[in-house]
Structure 1
């Protein structure tokens, strides 16, 4: 495929010819010029979206059947090629049904659709910045519940001020789950402890967390300094 521009590790370069074999790019070569549709063609890696609660009129927590094809189409139209269906805070027993539906979506045959990297649980073990989450459903960390999570869970957002946040982070990271700090007003000490335990991400920076203050580093500033 000839392209006016190709996004490479060195930035936008072009014009280029890109050759691939199956799912593997085998060559990216310069060409003197391009013509026709290639003059407007920009080739770039697909986006990876780690937090998709829903799109348009489709709620991930309720998605079933044809909803997944609609999500596939809407995501691809935005350039997303890998994503995490994200479940917000709800009572613990209510997670079983949407987790099962997401697993069924992940088990579909591979095709021209964005890949599901795993489930993102945005709650219910959040902190003191609930945002749109129902505060009544935010609960203390339940280590047994976390230990029993299905292997399809890839990301868990939790509040670093939770009393068992460090233990939860260690448990999850040992299982290969990415722990993200979010919906929190954690102190510097709590943030640092959870980060040291293995947390590697912050959920929607500046949104749902304490901000930046010159006398008291909020979570946003702590995240930027790590």
Structure 2
């Protein structure tokens, strides 16, 4: 059976204003002009969120497989067809059990991988990470988790100034695990050393990082100026000012900027009291903060909302789509399967109206109910 979806098709090379995406089975079989198309909807690749802790009242941070399935299903309804399950800083026991629980979900395609955001982070820049669990990188721990996951561990965030960080980065990259620099008080030079060791992503750029200073540019400048490094951006109007978002995008380009949600369980849920990594979180007016000190505690963002926010800030639609799909897929090594409307890739697409609201979602050639 062949499915044809007509509209304004956003491809890596630009927009086909009267176009068609043809799907056979679970793959894209053709992307072409279709002059008789009457549907004015945007047709974009499924979103790829490489940093999310949960959503729809469900969390990845406890390592519960049922919660993970439900969180992934929530984000799928908002156009995210591929995502990493991000954990926060935790004891090794929880990291082990989460890896064991999530590895089958990765094999089944429910998740694109596991992201450990910590615990190898800076106490000075820990943000909403639980300081009780922060520690130096351990080659023994990482080796065990890599073996346990058998390909499921996709990314680890590390503060490069911690003892043993460079060795850990080299270990991870040798095993095909992406290393991100984040929650760090590193200097410019320390960050550059991490990049030389193999780190290739900046975890939520600007947030949880030593700020830029004209005599100590710090991690932000090191990451923005490094060819091949992808910088995560949380486009929720809380983590970043619109001017900061557009500055980063114009500096690094959409091919090196990835929109992420950094969402927690409260995404899509009412204001109220929640939990993140063993810490109480209060959500008010859709903004999640630690109850104890008011630190930003992830977000309540979805990827479709992030796309709209980026466009509102001044990023044009094709560039924003690249940042929501193609660039993050490249960042974590899954661009050979997803992230673009190209022949041979998995048939993941999102139909958006002119206000960029989700109309329909297709994953692996099937429309999502």
TM-score computed with the length of structure 2 as normaliser: 0.56
Superposed displacement of residue 138, structure 1:
0.4
Corresponding residue for 1:171? 171
Deviation string, structure 1 residues 88-120 (Cα, Å, up to 9, x no partner): 001222222222221233344x5xxxx422110
Corresponding residue for 1:134? 130
Count of aligned residue pairs for this structure pair: 218
Of residues 111, 114, 117, the one that matches 1:119 is 114
Corresponding residue for 1:157? 157
TM-score computed with the length of structure 1 as normaliser: 0.89
Change in 2 beyond 3 A, CA 1:162/1:41: same
Deviation string, structure 1 residues 21-58 (Cα, Å, up to 9, x no partner): 223322222222323xxx24321111111111111311
Corresponding residue for 1:201? 201
Deviation string, structure 1 residues 145-193 (Cα, Å, up to 9, x no partner): 1111123111000101012111001100000000000000101221111
Q: What are structure 2's unaligned runs of at least 5 residues?
A: 227-369
Q: Distance in 2 between matches of 1:123 and 1:28?
A: 40
Corresponding residue for 2:32? 29
Superposed displacement of residue 66, structure 1:
4.2
CA contact (8 A) 1:3 1:14 kept: no
CA contact (8 A) 2:5 2:20 kept: yes
Matches of residues 1-226 of structure 1 in structure 2 within 5 Å?
1-35=4-38, 39-62=39-62, 64=64, 66-108=66-108, 115-127=110-122, 128-149=124-145, 150=148, 151=150, 152-226=152-226
Q: Which structure's relative contact order is higher, taking Cα pairs within 8 Å and 6+ residues apart?
A: 2
Q: Distance in 2 between matches of 1:104 and 1:78?
A: 23
Q: What are structure 1's unaligned runs of at least 5 residues?
A: none
SS of residue in 1 equivalent to 2:125:
coil
CA contact (8 A) 2:53 2:85 kept: yes
Change in 2 beyond 3 A, CA 1:72/1:163: closer
CA contact (8 A) 1:2 1:34 kept: no
Change in 2 beyond 3 A, CA 1:68/1:192: closer
CA contact (8 A) 2:47 2:79 kept: yes
Q: Distance in 1 between matches of 2:14 and 2:93?
A: 47
CA RMSD of aligned residues (A): 1.7
Determine which structure has more spread, i.e. the larger CA radius of gyration: 1
Q: Distance in 2 between matches of 1:160 and 1:68?
A: 29
Q: Distance in 2 between matches of 1:106 and 1:187?
A: 35
